[in-house]
């Protein structure tokens, strides 16, 4: 069994299509660690494509903010403007789907998936093994997959737990503008991090056309 780990697609349909086209044969499942919407130009089509692929989807802070307004006051002005725009573009059914996404899921034995961290699924950023250790202390599974930081990483804790973050499909922040994702072999725990070039200019064109904040489009060129 091979699983594709995707996170923080952020309504970047062009990047998502490039990642899905890059998946090797034999991928049996897609796990998505939240923030499917927010920031980008194509929230409805991005959500529809992932649901059509029967992806496992958990809620991110942007998904909640778009669906219900929860946490919107914590966003910077550009993020808030995009989330508010997505709220109005999406139909009631899509908003209901986003609002109903669970905070955590166990898509395979031994694995929990969530957006930020197991102890604070919507908001905690985990950037090192020490933070991962605290965040996983009460977790029933030894392994978890997260997103939220937009930076690919694997953290191994002193008590033998593992946290994997595949990075962001739609808005990488590690200085590499290519879409990030990872392949996981759940049986062995082996993870392969992958990067895929996509047509960034096309995503930026759509963002401009849909009057999203310019800085959100500009940053895609730099992966920051």
Give contact residues for Zn ion (rule: CB under 5 A): 8, 35
- CB nearer Zn ion, residue 58 or residue 108: 58
To Zn ion, the closest distance from the beta carbon of 193 in angstroms equals 18
How far apart CA 100 and CA 81 sit, in angstroms, is 22
- The closest alpha carbon to 77, from 214, 221, 224, belongs to 214
To Zn ion, the closest distance from the beta carbon of 23 in angstroms equals 21
- Residue 104 burial (CB < 10 Å; 0-12/13-18/19+)? middle
- CB nearer Zn ion, residue 90 or residue 180: 180
- CB nearer Zn ion, residue 35 or residue 42: 35
To Zn ion, the closest distance from the beta carbon of 202 in angstroms equals 21
To Zn ion, the closest distance from the beta carbon of 107 in angstroms equals 20
CA angle 58, 121, 214 (to 5 degrees): 75
Q: 3-class SS at 201?
A: helix
- CB nearer Zn ion, residue 8 or residue 94: 8
Supply 199's token pair. 């047509």
To Zn ion, the closest distance from the beta carbon of 156 in angstroms equals 24
Question: Which long-range contacts link 174-177 to residues 24+ away (Cβ below 8 Å)?
Answer: 174/150, 174/223, 175/222, 175/223, 175/224, 176/223, 177/220, 177/221, 177/222, 177/223
- CB nearer Zn ion, residue 185 or residue 218: 218
């Amino acid at each position: 069994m091979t699983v594709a780990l995707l996170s923080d697609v952020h309504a970047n349909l062009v990047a998502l299509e490039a990642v899905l086209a890059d998946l090797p044969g034999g991928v049996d499942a897609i796990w998505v660690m939240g923030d499917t919407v927010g920031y980008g130009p194509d929230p409805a089509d991005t959500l529809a494509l992932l649901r059509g692929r029967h992806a496992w989807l958990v809620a991110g802070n942007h998904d909640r903010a778009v669906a219900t307004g929860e946490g919107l006051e914590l966003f910077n002005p550009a993020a808030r403007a995009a989330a508010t725009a997505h709220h109005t573009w999406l139909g009631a059914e899509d908003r209901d789907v986003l609002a109903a996404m669970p905070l955590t899921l166990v898509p395979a034995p031994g694995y929990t998936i969530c957006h930020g961290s197991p102890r604070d699924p919507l908001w905690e950023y985990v950037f090192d093994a020490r933070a991962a250790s605290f965040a996983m202390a009460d977790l029933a599974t030894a392994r978890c997959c997260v997103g939220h930081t937009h930076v690919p990483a694997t953290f191994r804790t002193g008590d033998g737990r593992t946290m994997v973050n595949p990075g962001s499909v739609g808005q990488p922040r590690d200085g590499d503008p290519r879409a990030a994702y990872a392949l996981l072999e759940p049986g062995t725990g082996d993870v392969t991090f992958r990067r895929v070039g996509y047509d960034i200019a096309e995503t930026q064109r759509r963002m401009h056309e849909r009057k999203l904040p310019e800085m959100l489009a500009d940053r895609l060129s730099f992966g920051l």
